[in-house]
Amino acid sequence: MKTAEIAQRYLDYFEKNDHTIVPSASLVTDDPSLLFTVAGMVPFIPYLTGVVPAPYPRAADVQKCIRTNDIEEVGHTARHGTFFQMLGNWSFGDYFKEGAISYAWELLTSSESEGGLGFAERDLWVTVYQDDDEAAELWQKIAGLPVERIQRLGREDNYWSTGQPGPAGPCSEIYFDRGPAYGREGGPAVDDNRFTEIWNLVFMQYAITNVRSKIDFDIIGDLPAKNIDTGMGLERVAFIKQGVDNMYETDQVRPVLDRAVELSGRRYGADHEDDVRFRVIADHVRSSLMLLSDGVTPANDGRGYILRRLMRRSVRAMRLLGVDAPTFPELFAASRDAMKDAYPVVETDWQRISQYAVAEEETFLRTLAAGSTILDLAVEDTKKTGGSTLSGPEAFLLHDTYGFPIDLTLEIAEEAGLSVDRAAFDSLMLEQRNRAKADAKSRKRAFADQSVYRDFRAHGETVFTGYTDLETESRVLGVLVDGVSVDRARTGQVAEVILAETALYAESGGQVADKGVIVGPGYEADVLDVQKPVPGLISHTVQITTGEVAVGEPATTVVDAANRRAARQAHSATHLVHAALRDTLGKSATQAGSLNRAGYLRFDFSWGQSLSPQTRSEIEEIANNAVRDNLEVTTRVLPLDQARELGAVALFGEKYGDTVRMVDIGGPWSRELCAGTHVSTSAEVGLINLVGESSVGAANRRVEALVGLDAFRDLAAERAIVSQLTSSLKTPRDQLPARIAELTASLKAAEKRIAQFEARALADRVPQLANTATTAGRVRVVAQSIGAASSADDVRSLALQIRDRMGEGPAVVALGATLGERATVVVATNDGARAAGAKAGALAKVAAAALGGGGGGRDDVAQGGGTDAGALGAALDAVAAELAAQGE
């Protein structure tokens, strides 16, 4: 049974049983405590916690998920995957334990001809929470399971909570017995490899508080409404129904594995380590494809870092399989073909997805080449000093700064006959993980804080009137100070104010929040920020300037009209620039993010190379021509499917409801889904001035522009500069470029002549400095300060000239100089000195330590430096002392 068929049977069954079928939410979640949708219940959290009223009493879905906390297990077990699909059915105060158990058992055990999944009853086991007698009795009553196939487990295994105060409850898990070939008898309590969990039924019925750990908390009573939250792993059911050993061999994953086998020339099933690598590649390529399809792009932090890590682990695995050439074009195409029936977007958006994938692989292959060079030097230095272990900090630097995998470092070091100080490396990695955990914990607290909005959201959605009005009368539904609901806030306090209606725009879709005030009887408050902390609710962060704001009081929101006008100009200009980019570069130049505020816009788009000045000018001209043409700007609210049929452009990764707002500028020329505020005609934008274009990652570019009066002011400033130049240089404006080029050439020639004079002056000092040589240990040494120097290269050149003048006997030259506020020391050794044990790199480190800095280099020439220029004499003395000690 194909994976897609299993999913469809699930949805068909629950639709027949009066469940609303909900499409999968994006892998990118709004939950501030999470980077991704890590479980099927994440999109339903607002309903399960009661913060937002559920729009339906019961629902079912197939939810895309990404989870990387067990990434090291991928490829080693049958069931661990970073991307997975969770089949879920949900009840919000409707049916409870009996209904959930009945539905699960019927679907699992009904024959395939009846639309079920056809599991044999004898192969199914269940676990229940140790004190949940009700669930155990229902399993006997509904399924007829014998007591020995109903196992009771503790809170660690069979109790669900968010890890925060709020809803919780016991759960019951359904397991499939894979047979004696996979492990011991005795049920899931004994062996969870043989007995594979396929479905978890959560009975959300209690409220908990004082959460001290996953298993240590206080139950304070029943929830007002009991909910059902279930999740059945689609990949787990698929590998069982398809008769294969693991999820990597199912129909949606195996094609990537097979293509990796073909590219590597190795056989799957012949070697355990190779098999793990093949499975890692199959999993990670599919996960990366799905993340890219939901708008995530490779980056060095956040979601983009997780994607980059998955992609780079895939490249690394292919390299360990002996493939150094690019493979993503073929691997990603294989995953696309396997997934396109379930997720058509991977095919319709293939050009953009493949562009990012290919660019990231090319970038990482260059990184590997650079990292290999750095590692080779580190190996060489370690061997030269007689060491046998590569330091942990060097391995960590390669991993953290260059993205060079530790496994690759270990492999190359081993080939060179060296080990790696893994304990030091692991210690540094632990420090980094602890920092990441602290950051995640701070994000997790944000989720806990959302519960404070439940009562306010229960009044319904906040009505936004700002599309048509700049002032709106309302009433205060709630006041929060420091995250706590209070009845009032007083003069000087910063508070959150919740209103029934507002004319103030909450930050979203790239448009920053409105500025303005909230006024009422005897009070006034400056608006600092406007956000949507939970879906459908708008919160105003304000500072009370006069009086006090109290719950129940009238309130009028007043928008700063000038700021709103400029923000509308910038947002509409963003749409014009987007349309101009697509006109110029083609439809593959898709939006990857934007920011617009009064007078300014920033627009990110997928493109693999910088824009030429001519292309920038063309984009700017097209956008300004649209302004000149005074195109009508219209908005429509319509079903999402209809908007897409009309060609509306959507932002990748953005989440849209069934009904959307579509903004047209000039009809279909610019047609986008957008909830922002806009001008009524394009002429109101005024002027668009592109002021910057840059890279923001592989295959991602950014343009920046000033809009309206800000654009005019910038051009006026440039005009003033040009006028000043024409006056100072006594040159007509059209001849300025040639005149400046002439002056630049003259300046370079003068600088070259000055450098020649300085080099000659330094060379003249060679005999004098060479004559200062003294004996230290077994070598002759020149250790002198030459005062201020224009560059370190000059000091290096002088040191080498002195070394050559000193003849063939063991000689060391250490020259100190000041470069601005810093001090530098260059050390040069000849063959005789090195034979006597004098290494330039080690001596440079000695000097740098005295200067409060660092240094090193090759054995023949090296450099060190620091900020303590006053210690230059001491640094040179330290070099001489070190040489003397070596001669003892």
Question: Residue 529 in 3-state DSSP?
Answer: strand
Rounded CA separation 856/380 (Å): 14
What DSSP designation does 181 have? G
Q: Tell whether 571 is in a known binding site.
A: yes
Angstrom distance (rounded) from CA 147 to CA 93: 29
**Residue 40: how many CB atoms within 10 A of its CB?**
28
For residue 634, give both structure tokens: 């219209």
CA distance 836 to 809: 10
The CB density around residue 691, as the number of other CB atoms within 10 Å, is 15
Taking each helix axis as running N to C, give the angle between helix 328-339 and helix 254-264, from 0 to 180 degrees, rounded to the nearest 10. 160
The three-class DSSP label of residue 633 is: strand
With CA atoms as reference, report the closest residue to 306 among 67, 75, 74: 67
Please report where in the chains the tokens 């067990």 appear, as a residue: 70
According to the annotation, is 80 in a ligand binding site? no
Pairing of strands 20-22, 58-66: parallel
Q: Which of 303, 308, 289 is nearest to 354 (CA)?
A: 289
Burial (CB count <10 Å: 0-12, 13-18, 19+), residue 130 = middle
- Residue 147 φ/ψ, nearest 5 degrees: -55, -35
Q: What gap in Å lies between CA 371 and CA 398, rounded to an integer?
A: 7
Written in H, E and C, the secondary structure of 653-718 is CCCCCCEEEEEEECHHHEEEECCCCCCCEHHHHCCEEEEEEEECCCCEEEEEEEECHHHHHHHHHH
Cα–Cα distance between 271 and 284 in angstroms, integer?
Answer: 20
**CA pair distance 514, 597, nearest whole angstrom:** 9
674 is in an annotated binding site: yes
Any bridge partners for residue 633, and if so which? 665
Burial 300-310 (b: 16+ CB within 10 A, else e): eeebbebbbbb
Length of the chain: 888
Which string of b and e fits 247-269 if b means at least 16 CB within 10 Å? bbbbbbbbbbbebbbebbebebe
Distance of CA 314 to the CA centre of its chain: 18
The secondary structure of 223-258 as a DSSP string is: EEEEEEEEEEEHHHHHHHHTT-SSGGGSTTTHHHHH
Task: Please tell me whether 678 is known to bind a ligand.
Answer: yes
Radius of gyration of the chain (CA): 34
In angstroms, the CA 589 to CA 579 distance is: 10
Q: Is 282:248 a contact under the CB 8 Å cutoff?
A: yes
Per the annotation, binding residues are 571, 575, 674, 678
Per the annotation, binding residues for Zn(2+) are 571, 575, 674, 678
